[in-house]
Amino acid sequence: MTCEEVRISLGVHVLGALDAEEAAEVEAHLETCVECRAELAALSGLPPLLALVSAEDVERAAAPPRAVLDRLVAASARRGRRSRALLALAASVVVAAVGGTAWLSAAQTASQDTVAGSAAAAPQYETAPDGGAGSAAAAGAASDAAAAQAPKVGNDEIPQIFGAPDSPVPSPGTVARKVEQSPAEETVTASPEARGSNGDMRLTVRLVPQERGTQVVARVAGVPAGTVCTLRVIGKDGTVSVLGPWAVGSGEYRGPKMVFEGSTALSPGQIERVELAGADGRTLVAARL
């Protein structure tokens, strides 16, 4: 099988739903492909998560309550009205800005025409041949008088047509709130370790109580490289909860022991033993609690 074909089958393989022939082909490929083993390890947490979903949860997800749909429709309508109001406000601001600019330009043009007309209406003096200096002085005085009578146009006299635009009403956003620590996040006391061995293979198990069951932490040593392992949590009433699988890579145990972690719906007091099993279902080593 190719890597693509194996990865398509990994999800079904994790749930134990492959037929024996295809499962054997997948396991044979996993022994030689590191990338596919990593993909298998990433999917190993799927079975315990699915075990937490009840039939009622599936029904609620497939058909949400009518009240939820009504709230969604009402929220969508409110957002639509708010968007239309903001759009109308923005359009009015643009119209006011364009109209004000045109009015200001017209006012400045009218002021300039008034100054030019006053200058043209000032009396003109001819220079006499024999009175050049006196005539020039008289003409200068007349020009000064005309300039004094001309209306002055300055920045202070231009009507102020722009005011600070009204700030839009801020749309409601997410309100920060303090989140209290849930019971699952509080520090809990783990159970004493349970140990088991079978030849060179060793298994050490520790149970950590959780809000909805138990976290199982298992340290494993001595398992041959390439082995695909699962943890079977056996309840006192015979209930079996399967965690995993995990693929053991080459050289995993030359340093610290390998650690497997998973969750089960059983409480610590309901668990009798934990078994490490191979891909064929054979028990490799067990630890009794």
pLDDT tens for residues 5-27? 878 887 887 777 778 788 888 88
CA 48 to chain centroid, in Å, comes to 25
Task: Return the pLDDT at 23.
Answer: 80
Look at residue 18 in the predicted model and tell me its pLDDT. Answer: 78
Taking 50 as the threshold, does the pLDDT of residue 154 lie above it? Answer: no
Q: Where is pLDDT greater, at 55 or 212?
A: 212
The most confident of the ranges 76-85, 91-100, 118-127 is 76-85
- pLDDT tens for 181-196 read 333 334 446 678 999 9
- What radius of gyration do the chain's Cα atoms show? 43
User: 164: which residues sit within 8 A by CB, 6+ positions away?
Assistant: none
Q: pLDDT tier at 105 (50, 70, 90 boundaries)?
A: low
Beta carbons within 10 angstroms of residue 16's beta carbon = 12
CA angle 3, 10, 46 (to 5 degrees): 145
pTM: predicted TM-score of the whole model, two decimal places: 0.36
Length of the chain: 289
Q: Which residue type sits at 27?
A: E
Q: How many CB atoms lie within 10 A of CB 234?
A: 19
Could you give the percent of the chain with pLDDT greater than 90? 23
